[in-house]
Amino acid sequence: MSLITRRSLLANAARGGLALGAGGLIAACGSSSSSSSSSSSGASSSAAAAAGTPKHGGTLRAGLTGGSSSDTLDPNAPVNNTDYARVANLYEGLVWMNAAGQPYFRLAEEMTPNKDATVWTIRLRPGVTFHNGKDVTADDLIFSINRVVNPKSPGEAANILHGIDAAGMKKLDNRTISVPFTKPYSTLVESLAQNITVYVIPVGFDPKNPVGTGPFKYVSFTPGQQSVFARNENYWNAPLPYIDQLVMTDYADETSQVNALLGGQVDVVNLLSQDTIGTVTGSGKKVVISDGGGWNPFTMRVDQPPFTDVRVRQAFRLACDRQAMLNTVFGGHGTIGNDVFGIWSTEYDHAIPQRPHDPEQARALLKQAGHEGLTIELVTADIAQGVINMAQVYAQQAAAAGINVKLRQITVTEFYGPNYLKWVFAQDYWYYSPYLPQVQQATLPVSPFNECHFDNPRYNSLYSQALATLDEAKRVEIAHEMQMIDYDQGGYIIPFFPPVIDGYAPHVHGIVQSKVGSSFNDWDFQHMWIA
């Protein structure tokens, strides 16, 4: 599951201008070493890795963008970045993802499928207690799952558990349950290894007084402003966490966020743009640049003209100069993409030939399809760092292929309003998911967020086969065939996988580069210490 549901800068053209203009002013005044970003990121990551022994104590102050008045602590309803930050520290899932983008067991000790992958047996790790002292038992796990799939008010993770037979869940012993599904689900572990997942909460959970098993426990929370958490003294993964208190403050704007870091009022900040790297490093602070697996695609609806013709889709993909776009928008940081998602999965096929930048071929294809010199509207909004810039760059690049792209910039609220998933040519953003779980969210007819309205019968049947295949090698083969279909016929243009750029003060240690595609290795504050 890689739903990127944060809202970054709120949509407001004046404020966007303010941020860019002011950011430019600060960049001009601040640094003299704007071109040393790659060396500084290398230095900062190796320095972080080589830092001494962790020390206990201190308060970590995080200044985070993406928050809003709809901030929440409910583990079933995280929507924006700050929600994920809170939820990742108060609660824990059965499975989680490490910095290499691979799933590992967190609260689950073991998860075993039956031979046709229709029933999963899940055993919880022993010795875990909630913040209120109660032990974690199988009843709590059943309650947590039911709360997610509650048909009257489904949680974020409900569509990951698509096909679950919740009424058929059985408690096998104090720490073990069996979960039946109506269809085979061989990829359950991968699918749960994301920040939209089943978080284990106690029976009778009350969002006004949130209790979880996480490294930090709730102290106070004011939506749109600040949340304060304290160290969980009885955390099962002792000696973690190291810091005593975690204060997360919402910032509406990158400018004030960076100012706060430079002025020493916060210790870590998330999701910087590449323009501020120089300012931050030039003032003695540090930056960590991760090759995240998140992706910001251009989305073409394959069921609407002109994109019904696969040649037009291929032409649009060929018209994109990916390296140039990456250089312009993200200063060259990040990984070039090949119109297939899930880059860090074991099933990603790195052997697919990299699509070149070929405007001539694009022109030829368009001519064949009878769409020479076509005009198209691209709907864009400030939904994530760099998205609008990408649209502007694409519009310029497409002109060389004879495509006349008209940009239509709207507010974030309007973008995700009633017309979301109906735009013919638009953009979107996703966090990193392994390949098959991502397919379930994006490219099947039943997918909740199928922006391209992709519905390929061969692809759909391959997916069902993959879900019924427990043999990993066979699954990888099936996935490769699906990826060729994405590559040849899909509706996404995935020019690259953008970098995740976070900033921090030098006295904070334990920060690592991560492939998971969200800040700080998925808000991994428990591994940080202050020295």
What residues make contact with another protein under the rule CB under 8 A? Answer: 3-5, 7, 10-12, 15, 18, 21-22, 25-26, 29-30, 63, 68-72, 79-80, 151-154, 156, 158-159, 196, 220, 222-226, 249, 251-253, 255-257, 259-260, 262-265, 283, 383, 411-414, 416-420, 428-429, 448-449
Q: Render 511-526 in DSSP notation, one character per residue.
A: ----SSSSHHHHH-GG
How far is C-alpha 490 from the geometric centre of its chain's CA atoms?
A: 21
Q: What is the DSSP code (8-state) at residue 27?
A: H
For another protein, give the closer residue by CB, 321 or 382: 382
Helix locations, 61-151, DSSP H:
81-90, 138-149
Nearest Cα neighbor of 26 from 264, 253, 261, 276 is 276
Q: Which amino acid is at 321?
A: D
Measured from the CB atom, the residue of 68 and 513 that comes closer to another protein is 68
CA–CA gap between residue 309 and residue 303 (Å, rounded): 9
Provide the minimum distance between the beta carbon of 362 and another protein in the complex, in angstroms, as a whole number: 30
The one-letter code for the residue type at 478 is I
CA distance linking residue 217 with residue 239, whole number of Å: 16
User: Rounded to 5 degrees, what are φ and ψ at 268?
Assistant: -135, 145
Which of 169, 166, 6, 165 lies closest to 84 in space, CA to CA?
6
* Cβ nearer to another protein, comparing 15 with 171: 15
Listed in sequence order, the DSSP H helices in 411-517 are 412-415, 435-442, 457-468, 472-489
* Distance of closest approach, residue 172 Cβ to another protein, in angstroms: 31
Residue whose CB is less far from another protein, 54 or 163 = 163
Q: What is the dihedral of CA 438, 444, 445, 447, to 10 degrees?
A: -10
Largest separation between any pair of C-alpha atoms in the chain: 69
Between residues 156 and 486, which has the closer beta carbon with respect to another protein?
156
For another protein, the closer CB: 285 or 371: 285
CB of 419 to another protein, least distance (A): 7
Q: How far is the CB of 215 from another protein (least distance, A)?
A: 23
Measured between its terminal Cα atoms, the distance across the chain in Å is 35
Under 8 Å between Cβ of 489 and 310: yes
For residue 450, what are its two tokens?
């199928």
| Minimum distance from residue 223 beta carbon to another protein (Å) | 4
Q: Which two tokens stand for residue 47?
A: 């320095």
Q: Cβ of residue 367: shortest distance to another protein, in angstroms?
A: 37
Q: Which is nearer to another protein, 22 or 142 (CB)?
A: 22
Distance of closest approach, residue 427 Cβ to another protein, in angstroms: 12
User: Least distance (Å) from another protein to the CB of residue 123?
Assistant: 30
| Shortest distance (Å) from residue 433 CB to another protein | 14
Of 451 and 502, which CB lies nearer to another protein in the complex structure?
Answer: 451
Environment class of residue 494 by beta-carbon count within 10 Å: exposed (0-12), middle (13-18) or buried (19+)?
buried
The nearer residue to another protein, 63 or 184, going by C-beta atoms, is 63
